[in-house]
Amino acid sequence: MTTYAFWNNKGGTGKTSLCFQSICFYANAHPEERILAIDVCPQANLSELFLGGLSGGGSDRLLVRQGETVRATIGGYFQLRLPSPYSPPSINPHDFITRPVDYNEEIPKNIDLICGDPLLELQSNAISTLANNQIPGTDAWLAVVDWLRDLLNRLDGEYDTIFVDCNPSFSIYTQIALSAVDRLVLPVMADDSSRRAIQNAFSLVYGLKLPSDIYLTYAFATRLRKAGRSLPKAHMIAKNRITQYMGDASAYAAVLRSIDVDISKLISSNPDIFTFHDVEDGVVSIRDFQTTGVVAFARGCPLYALKAGKRVVLGHRVTVHEDYRVKMVAAMNDLVSKL
């Protein structure tokens, strides 16, 4: 079983739409595999996409799942863990799983979903408090960050590949998600803030270039390593929202090259935190989804299944151009080939 997290602590990088398309493309290319998507984000946009998108009732369908007797979301699972934070309670993991194709026919049949939940924000303080308790003979923090790992252990053998969409933060529920995965995909944009975000991400996850040694004791990497756990390895840097006409040769090229240089230096100094040895093997460029992406997002539709032509999206008439859609599909196929 291989597990991926899509995460960047900077918002606005197109992480969720990229995650959604990656999961659908991967599932479509590997119909023999069982895929599980886990939405560990209070916004739950990934879940809405899988359940039909903005115009397909995805939000209403998500509310129905949140209203089940056993709340069928990641927040529902966490809610059952709050009274039993340090040892897994007796649960049925399938209570939290949704089959997206039952709601959205565009989704491959081999994908299951654990929906996101705004309840995560309400739970965050309580979970953090439980993680910081001092209990003789118990590593409270480790027991709490193992919550998702505990759930996946209950599903052992049922899925071949798992994708986790994380919140653009480093809150406790993000740490729970990242501690349960093998590989990390970081979407970035062609701007200086994204370049800084990569540096921040590697500080948060791997404890690199911290401003003072005082932070090292409490660092995510330090605590996981102390427990003999492996950190997720950086598997891909996705340069997202590269526009069709500017591309890598645009005015942003200097920033894009700087990102490559930064990654190259990190590979040289910390090769153990990467799954790749050369920048070319771990960096992909994704064109801006533009109108094609807006339509796909509204309908909860993979780009490969989207039809060209005029569409009405939330009252606005737009056009999906086939030549651009084909280029987007090619870019996504390139990304998925590296998974």
CATH value at residue 252: 3.40.50.300
pLDDT > 80? residue 245: no
Please name the residues in contact with 72: beta carbons below 8 A apart, sequence gap of 6 or more.
Answer: 65, 66, 95, 96, 97, 98, 115
What is the reported pLDDT for 28? 97
What is the reported pLDDT for 61? 96
pLDDT > 50? residue 244: no
Per-residue pLDDT of 168-208, as tens digits, reads 989 999 999 999 999 999 988 766 666 777 888 889 999 88
Interval 47-55 mean pLDDT? 93
pLDDT > 60? residue 248: no
Interval 149-177 mean pLDDT? 95
Inter-residue contact 117 to 68 (CB < 8 Å)? no
Residue 216 binned pLDDT confidence (cut-offs 50, 70, 90) = confident
Domain count, the chain: 1
**Ramachandran bin of 247, using left for φ above 0, alpha for ψ from -120 to 50, beta for the remaining angles:** left
Interval 38-59 mean pLDDT? 94
Q: What percent of the chain has pLDDT over 70?
A: 93
Range from 11-15, 216-220, 231-235, 283-287 carrying the lowest mean pLDDT: 11-15
Mean of all residue pLDDT scores within the chain: 89
Strand partners, 115: 73
What is the reported pLDDT for 318? 79
Structural domain harbouring 75: 2-337
pLDDT > 80? residue 275: yes
Question: What is the secondary structure of 198-236 as a DSSP string?
Answer: HHHHHHHHH-TT-S-GGGGGG-HHHHHHHTTPPPPEEEE
Range from 140-149, 178-187, 287-296 carrying the lowest mean pLDDT: 287-296
What is the reported pLDDT for 198? 81
**Ramachandran bin of 183, using left for φ above 0, alpha for ψ from -120 to 50, beta for the remaining angles:** beta
What is the reported pLDDT for 177? 97
Burial of 145 (0-12, 13-18, 19+ CB in 10 A): buried
As given in the structure block, the two tokens for residue 275 are: 């799954």
